[in-house]
Structures are given as structure tokens and as C-alpha cells.
Amino acid sequence: KAGVTQTPRYLIKTRGQQVTLSCSPISGHRSVSWYQQTPGQGLQFLFEYFSETQRNKGNFPGRFSGRQFSNSRSEMNVSTLELGDSALYLCASSLAPSGVTDTQYFGPGTRLTVL
């Protein structure tokens, strides 16, 4: 079974631009979570989607948004990029009808650099 796929793997943007990251979950998984990883703040939860519904959202500004499609693929969007948005963005998928009790499988991440 193929793992979680994230595209692109690397991105370079400039301040003020916007960016869209994509995540394809493991086949059959309907929950997709997004995390931001930085050296200073560590791993922080962004949001989680299940069957196209956002069930939880982390403490991030409104510039960070996401969505999930009917095939469970998910995208996250960051508008008006700031230097501090430079990070590794990780996506995780699980069967998870009931939350974290199902194992989350992480993708390799998208490395975003904001110049």
C-alpha cells in the first residue's frame, strides 16, 4: 500500500506570496491532519479533516487554511507569506473516525522556504 504523498517536496516563495501544499492520504484513510515543524516551535498542529469536514484547528492565524476533497486528498493554503512561515509542513493520515486512537501515518513533508 502506498504511503502518504506530499507535493511538492520543496518550495521557495517570497514574502507576501501565497502557497498551496497537497497531501494524498493512504488509500482508504479518511482523516488528514497537518502539522508545522520549525526548529523554534517544534511540531504544532494546524488542522484535521475527516470526510471533508474540519474537526479541529490549531492556534494559527487565518492566513492558514485547508480543505479536503471527496477523495480524501487535502490541501493547505498559506496566504500573505511571512518569513516565519518557513517550515516543514507534515501531513498525516489515518482511518480515525474517532480521533487519535487510530495510528497516524506521516508523509515526508513539504519544506517551505520564505525569502
Contact yes or no for 6/91 (Cβ under 8 A): yes
Toward another protein, which CB reaches closer, 38 or 80?
38
State the minimum distance, in angstroms, from the CB of residue 84 to another protein: 18
DSSP state of 83: G
Q: Name the phi and psi angles at 113, rounded to 5.
A: -120, 125
Site residues for another protein per CB under 8 A: 4, 31, 33, 35, 42-45, 48, 50, 55-56, 58, 90, 92, 96, 98-101, 103-109
How far apart are alpha carbons 77 and 66 in whole angstroms? 6
Query: Shortest Cβ distance from residue 35 to another protein (Å)?
Result: 8
